[in-house]
Amino acid sequence: MGLFSELGRSVEQFKRTVESTAAETAEFECRACGTRLHTDHETCPECGADAVRERATDDADD
């Protein structure tokens, strides 16, 4: 049982890391609920709002 518990914890930690990284690299964001998306949508798939916009980037050319 210990092996499977440890494996489960490792998988959950990996999932959280992947979700966090994916959210950071998303190009679009719903202004109503904050869901980050990788493709443009007319309405947010999470909340249904017509508020999906391109995220502002903080990257500055050095």
For 7-60, the pLDDT digits (tens) are 999 999 999 888 888 778 889 999 999 999 989 999 999 999 999 999 876 544
DSSP string, 11-25: HHHHHHHHHHHHHHH
Backbone conformation region of residue 48, classed left if phi is above 0, alpha if psi is from -120 to 50, else beta = left
- CA dist 54 → 14, 61, 62 (Å): 27, 19, 23
| pLDDT recorded at residue 1 | 61
Task: Give this prediction's pTM.
Answer: 0.58
